[in-house]
């Protein structure tokens, strides 16, 4: 699978030989012209987040029956009310900050998100969520296609991946999104100081300006260098950002701090990618106390809470939307290793100043009965209710101001009205 994916996709997408040379003040210009300063932060929980441990149906006896060691006692759950089907639900005990945000009406939870015939493969699953195309998940990403539709030339910093790889979600046909995991290290060094360092940079820039059409591989690498040079100085400012709160010392929190730094410096980035892993909890899932999953929730909560507060203090909350997803959720039954295997439908979270908070959709009924319409795969897994592409459509139409049908290549319904 891997070779097909790599060769076909990376090779099939044109090198970003255009778009990196946008004028430096393009973003300022856009803002001066009254364009939106709205931005979208996509948060990917990699490995397949166990939705039943994030949003807990703590009154469902089947939840306790099917998860003898992993269920979270009702008394520990952070109750947040009921969904439309009147099923009481609560957040994981470590999500205390998110509960506060929920109570402030700025967190939406969309239940049972997924798609027909859900893939149980990490790689195919994440490709499907990235492209929005379950039948052929090997092309550009949904946000890449959004970038491709922006008026040309597109500033390379319109997108920003805080991971070392460019996620498929941001893979575009004409725009090369930079990968900047650490703004402070995003610099060009040289063996000699003073003027010689300047000469070296000028020379390196000139060497990389060679974009031979008959050698697309070399053109691609050189264009990557060019994009790095075109973004260096602006990103350098972000590295100096002084946050208004103390962020936890986790990769996710530090990435989100960088995101606020970019916003506060008005870099012009519209879509950010942040990611945190460890959710492939096949064994020793540790949902309770200080177990593995509990700590994952702690990481997410600490990072998002600091981010939310920093945004509020900076007056940026109203311009920011966080959208969270994972490639699949997990089996309802725990396995013999006190873990859970790959499942199907899960939840998506949306957080921000423009979000209409609440619980959307209906919770699964966990009864292992053949006629239970909320389950699938022999009642092993949760069946989707809301197509994830309808959630994307809401974000594209109502937040990014683009055209969902064109970006997604189809109409998947309006989706829940969380914006």
- Residues of this chain that interact with another protein (CB under 8 A) are 1-4, 6-7, 10-11, 46, 120-124, 156, 161, 164-166, 176, 178-182, 185-192, 195-196, 199-200, 202-204, 206-210, 212, 216-218, 220-222, 224-225, 227-228, 231-232, 282-284, 292, 334-337, 339, 341-342, 377
Q: Which is nearer to another protein, 120 or 398 (CB)?
A: 120
Q: Which of 419, 389, 388 is nearest to 401 (CA)?
A: 419
Whole-angstrom distance, CA of residue 255 vs CA of residue 275: 9
Q: Which is nearer to another protein, 74 or 197 (CB)?
A: 197
Q: Which is nearer to another protein, 47 or 302 (CB)?
A: 47
Q: Which is nearer to another protein, 186 or 418 (CB)?
A: 186
Q: Which is nearer to another protein, 282 or 367 (CB)?
A: 282
Minimum Å gap between C-beta 162 and another protein is 10
Task: Give yes or no for a contact between 384 and 363, defined as CB atoms under 8 angstroms apart.
Answer: no
Minimum Å gap between C-beta 194 and another protein is 9
Minimum Å gap between C-beta 159 and another protein is 11
Distance of alpha carbon 406 from the chain centroid: 21
Whole-angstrom distance, CA of residue 123 vs CA of residue 118: 12
The helix/strand count (H/E) of the chain reads as: 14, 13
Task: Give yes or no for a contact between 126 and 327, defined as CB atoms under 8 angstroms apart.
Answer: yes
Minimum Å gap between C-beta 54 and another protein is 21
Minimum Å gap between C-beta 38 and another protein is 24
Q: Which is nearer to another protein, 124 or 133 (CB)?
A: 124
Whole-angstrom distance, CA of residue 223 vs CA of residue 200: 18
CA angle 254, 255, 256 (to 5 degrees): 90
Task: Give yes or no for a contact between 110 and 315, defined as CB atoms under 8 angstroms apart.
Answer: no
User: What are the backbone dihedrals phi and psi of residue 231, each rounded to the nearest 5 degrees, phi first?
Assistant: -115, -10
CA angle 256, 257, 262 (to 5 degrees): 95
Whole-angstrom distance, CA of residue 239 vs CA of residue 50: 34
Minimum Å gap between C-beta 34 and another protein is 30
Token code pair at residue 369: 């009965």
Minimum Å gap between C-beta 99 and another protein is 28
Q: Which of 63, 68, 123, 48 is nearest to 335 (CA)?
A: 68
Q: Which is nearer to another protein, 105 or 212 (CB)?
A: 212
């Amino acid at each position: 699978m891997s070779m097909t994916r790599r060769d076909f996709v990376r090779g099939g997408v044109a090198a970003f030989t255009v778009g990196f040379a946008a004028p430096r003040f393009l973003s300022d210009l856009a803002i001066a012209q009254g364009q939106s300063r709205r931005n979208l932060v996509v948060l990917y929980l990699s490995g397949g987040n166990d939705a039943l441990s994030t949003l807990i149906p703590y009154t469902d006896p089947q939840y306790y029956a099917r998860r003898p060691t992993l269920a979270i006692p009702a008394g520990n759950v952070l109750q947040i009310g009921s969904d439309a089907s009147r099923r009481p639900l609560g957040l994981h005990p470590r999500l205390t900050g998110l509960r506060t945000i929920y109570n402030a009406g700025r967190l939406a939870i969309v239940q049972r998100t997924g798609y027909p015939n859900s893939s149980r493969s990490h790689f195919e699953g994440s490709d499907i969520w990235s492209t929005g195309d379950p039948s052929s998940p090997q092309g550009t990403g949904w946000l890449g296609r959004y970038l491709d539709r922006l008026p040309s030339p597109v500033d390379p910093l319109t997108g920003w991946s805080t991971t070392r790889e460019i996620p498929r979600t941001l893979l575009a046909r004409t725009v090369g999104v930079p990968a900047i995991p650490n703004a402070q290290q995003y610099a060009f060094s040289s063996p000699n100081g003073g003027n010689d360092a300047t000469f070296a940079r000028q020379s390196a820039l000139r060497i990389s300006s060679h974009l031979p059409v008959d050698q697309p591989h070399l053109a691609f690498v050189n264009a990557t260098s060019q994009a790095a040079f075109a973004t260096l100085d602006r990103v350098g400012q972000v590295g100096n950002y002084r946050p208004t709160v103390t962020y936890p010392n986790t990769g996710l929190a530090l990435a989100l701090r960088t995101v606020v730094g970019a916003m506060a410096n008005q870099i012009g980035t519209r879509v950010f990618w942040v990611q945190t892993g460890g959710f492939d909890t096949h064994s020793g899932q540790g949902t309770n106390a200080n177990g593995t999953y509990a700590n994952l929730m702690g990481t997410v909560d600490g990072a998002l809470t600091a981010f939310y507060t920093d945004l509020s203090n900076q007056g940026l909350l109203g311009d920011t939307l966080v959208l969270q997803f994972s490639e699949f959720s997990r089996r309802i039954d725990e396995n013999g290793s006190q873990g859970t295997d790959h499942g199907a439908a899960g939840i998506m979270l949306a957080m921000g100043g423009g979000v209409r908070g609440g619980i959307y959709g209906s919770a699964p009924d966990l009864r292992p009965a053949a006629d239970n319409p909320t389950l699938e795969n022999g009642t092993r897994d949760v069946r989707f209710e809301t197509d994830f592409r309808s959630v994307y459509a809401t974000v594209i139409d109502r937040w990014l101001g683009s055209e969902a049908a064109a970006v997604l290549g189809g109409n998947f319904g309006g989706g829940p009205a969380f914006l």
